[in-house]
A and B are shown apart, each in its own frame.
Chain A
Amino acid sequence: MTVTQFEKLLQEYGSSIYGFCCHLTGNRMTAEDLYQDAVLKAFSKLQTIHSEDRARNYILGIAVRLYKNQRRKHTETPASDQLAPVPDVQNVAEETEQQELYTCVRRAVQGLPYRLREVTYLYYFSGLRTKEIAAVLHIPEGTVKSRLSKARSEIRKEMVDHGYETR
C-alpha cells in the first residue's frame, strides 16, 4: 500500500475507526491513543493488504485487542469508561425528544458489559456484518449473534424503563 493509498484509507475509514475507538473507550484522549497505536501496529501488514475494506477490519481488530490488553493492565479503565459522559451532549434540557431517545440509547449501550458493547459498536456503528465481526474478534459467528441479541434486549429494557416504545 502506497502512502497515497494509506492516506486515502484513513480519509475514508479513519473517522469510522476513530469513532469506534471513541465509543469503545468513552474518552477522547484514550481513543486518540488507541487509534494511533492500532494504525501504527497495522503498518507492516498494510503493505500486503490491498483491499481497503479488509484493512479497516484489520485495524479494528487490532484496536479491539489493544483495548482489551489495556483493560487487563489497568483495571480501573472499564469502570471509568462506563461512567464517562456521552460526548457532545452539552445541555440535556435543550434536546428534542428524538435526541433524548438517542441519548438514552447511547447511555444504554455504554452501560452494557464490555463483550456486548464491542459487538454492538462493531455492528451498529462500524457497520460490520456478523461474519466480519466474528473474524475481527476471533469468535464464532453464533456467539456474535447471541451477544447482539442480548445487547438488543438490554437496550430495549432500558428504553422501556425510560418510557420509550420499541418495535
Chain B
Amino acid sequence: MKQDEIIRKALSDTPPVPGELHGRLVHAYANRKPSHRRLYIAVTALAAATALCGAGVYVGTEGHFEDVMNWFGAVTGTTYEDATEELKITAVPTEDGIAVSVALLTPDKAPYPYIEQLAISDYTLKNKKKTVAKGTVPAAALTDTGTEILIPLEAPLVSGTYTLTITCFEGSAKGDQPLPIKGKWTADITVS
C-alpha cells in the first residue's frame, strides 16, 4: 500500500458530530439576526450622494466663509469663497484706465453689510493675443449698492476687444483683517 493511501486511511476514522451540537447550530442559524449590511451600505451611499449633490449646488449658488489654516492646522484667517453670483461687474474704458462698477446683488447678506472698502485683489486684462495688465487695485469705499473702482493703466488702450477677469476682491473694515472675496467675474471691453 502506498504511503499516501496509508495516511489517508489512518486518518479517516473520525467520530460523528454529536446530534445535540448539530441541532443547536441549526437552531441558531434559523434564529440568526438578519444582516443589515446591505441596507446600511445603501443608506450610507444615499446619504453621501445627497451630501455631495448638496455641496455641488451650494458651491455653485452661494458664497460661504472658509477658514485659512497654516501647516500646523491653526486657523490664521478667513476667506469668502464662491461669491461669483453675489457681485456683478461692468467695465468701461476711460482716459485713465478702466472704470469697474461693482454691484452688490445680495447687499444684506454677510459679509457685505460690514465691508467699508472694496479693492480688487487679483485681475487680468487680456486681448486676443496677450495679457495687457494684471495685479491689484487699491480700495474704494463701498456703499449699500456697490462701488466703482478705477483700474489705472500706464498707457491708454488701443482699439480692440479686451476681457477683464477678476478672481478676487478684498473687503476691508476698520479694525478688521482684510477679507478676500473669491469668485470669477468677467467683463468684455471694446475700445474703438
Give the distance to chain B from A57, nearest Cβ to Cβ, in Å.
18
**A-B contact number at CB 8 A:** 86
**Pairwise interchain contact B14-A23, C-beta atoms closer than 8 A:** yes
- Cβ of A105 under 8 Å from chain B: yes
Least distance between B35 CB and chain A CB atoms (Å): 6
Contact code string B1-38 (vs A, CB < 8 Å = 1, else 0): 11110111111111111100110111011101001010
Interface residue tally of chain B, by bracket? Answer: 20 to 34
Pick 29 A–B contacts, CB within 8 A, sort by A. A6-B29, A10-B17, A10-B22, A14-B17, A15-B14, A15-B17, A18-B14, A18-B16, A28-B15, A32-B18, A36-B24, A36-B25, A40-B25, A43-B28, A44-B35, A87-B15, A101-B10, A102-B9, A105-B7, A105-B10, A106-B10, A106-B11, A109-B7, A109-B10, A124-B7, A166-B3, A166-B6, A167-B1, A167-B2
Binding site for B on A (CB under 8 A): 3, 6-7, 10, 14-15, 18-19, 22-23, 28, 32, 35-36, 39-40, 43-44, 46-47, 87-88, 101-103, 105-106, 109, 120-121, 124-125, 152, 155-156, 159, 166-167
Q: Can you list the 6 inter-chain pairs with the closest CB atoms, starting with the nearest?
A: A19-B14, A105-B10, A102-B10, A125-B11, A18-B17, A3-B30
Interface of B toward A, CB cutoff 8 Å: 1-4, 6-18, 21-22, 24-26, 28-30, 32, 35, 37
